Amino acid sequence: MSSRRWLRLAEKKSMITIWDNPEWRILFDVTRLERVKPWQVKLAEIIESLMKELRSIGLIDLHSCGVAAYSAATIHRMKTERLLKLDVPRAPRERPNMLLPPPVNLPLIPDFMITTMNELVEALQRLLARSREKGVKEERPPLEGFDVRLDEFLVKLEEELENFISALRRRFDGRELISISELIEDGDRHEVARRFILLLFTAARGLVEFVQDDEMRLIGVRWIGGSGRA
């Protein structure tokens, strides 16, 4: 009997015990099934070659054939489970619900000016720096509606904005254009910042517009909102 088949005779019956072919050994060593990569095992070819070998040597070993059938079924089940795992949809990730405030649309007219937000911020920074350098401030008629603490300003923003607009309307009486520095620099740093923010809200309502004068290198404010305009 060929040594490559490693057969054993017991009780005058031929029994398949160990196969020299490594592909067949997968079907008879059930302890290795968990380590097998199922999609690398060609079950149809292995079973077909095994059955061909059994027919050629004329052996019928029901025990060994049963073990081989069990191993083949297990490998087939492992392939099916891998396919089902690929079909399971992933749970969608919950995105944080972030509420973004609507943008403030400034009434900038391209035909008259080219002013960016960076230029407005730079103008505000220059005003703040100038207010720190000045020892004595020039007295100007104050704008009404600013004698308020910061917390009240935040809570009653709408009311403060109406007061600011009324003061602006009186300030523009008889005037068409006022520089932004004249409107907001006569105050401390917090006052300048509050007036600048309220001025942006006023522009968003369409009551004023910002005008840039390249020759005088300043940014002016023009009243366009009603009876206050000259």
Give the domain CATH number at 154.
Answer: 1.10.10.580
SS3 of the chain: helix, strand, coil, percent, to 5: 50, 10, 40
Look up residue 20 and give its DSSP letter: S
In this predicted structure, what is the pLDDT of residue 10? 35
Confirm whether 94 is domain-assigned.
Answer: no
Confirm whether 1 is domain-assigned.
Answer: no
Q: Are residues 164 and 76 in the same domain?
A: no
Q: Are residues 83 and 121 in the same domain?
A: no
Tell me the HSE value of 185 on the side-chain side, using a 13 A CA sphere: 20
What range does the domain containing 181 cover?
117-133+140-223
Q: Are residues 72 and 158 in the same domain?
A: no
In this predicted structure, what is the pLDDT of residue 1? 38
Confirm whether 19 is domain-assigned.
Answer: yes
* CA separation for the pair 58, 48 (Å, rounded): 15
Token pair listed for 123:
């103008």
Token pair listed for 155:
């809570």
Q: Are residues 70 and 121 in the same domain?
A: no
Confirm whether 35 is domain-assigned.
Answer: yes
* CA separation for the pair 49, 24 (Å, rounded): 9
Q: Are residues 63 and 153 in the same domain?
A: no
Q: Are residues 154 and 76 in the same domain?
A: no
Residue ranges of alpha helices (H) inside 58-188 are 62-87, 117-133, 150-155, 157-171, 180-184
Confirm whether 168 is domain-assigned.
Answer: yes
Q: Are residues 125 and 61 in the same domain?
A: no
Q: Are residues 127 and 203 in the same domain?
A: yes
pLDDT per residue of the chain (230 residues) written in tens, 0 to 9: 333 343 443 333 444 444 556 666 666 665 566 666 666 676 677 767 777 777 776 666 666 666 677 677 777 777 777 777 665 566 677 777 766 666 655 555 444 445 566 676 677 777 777 766 655 455 555 555 445 555 555 567 788 888 888 988 888 888 888 888 888 777 778 888 888 888 888 888 888 888 876 665 677 888 887 644 33
Confirm whether 97 is domain-assigned.
Answer: no
In this predicted structure, what is the pLDDT of residue 160? 83
* CA separation for the pair 218, 203 (Å, rounded): 18
Q: Are residues 78 and 149 in the same domain?
A: no
In this predicted structure, what is the pLDDT of residue 204? 87
Confirm whether 218 is domain-assigned.
Answer: yes
Q: Are residues 161 and 202 in the same domain?
A: yes
In this predicted structure, what is the pLDDT of residue 80? 73
Q: Are residues 151 and 75 in the same domain?
A: no
Confirm whether 228 is domain-assigned.
Answer: no
| Type of residue at 30 | V
Tally of domains within the chain: 2
Q: Are residues 213 and 147 in the same domain?
A: yes
* CA separation for the pair 6, 196 (Å, rounded): 96
Residue with tokens 């025990």: 63
In this predicted structure, what is the pLDDT of residue 115? 56
Token pair listed for 48:
């077909």
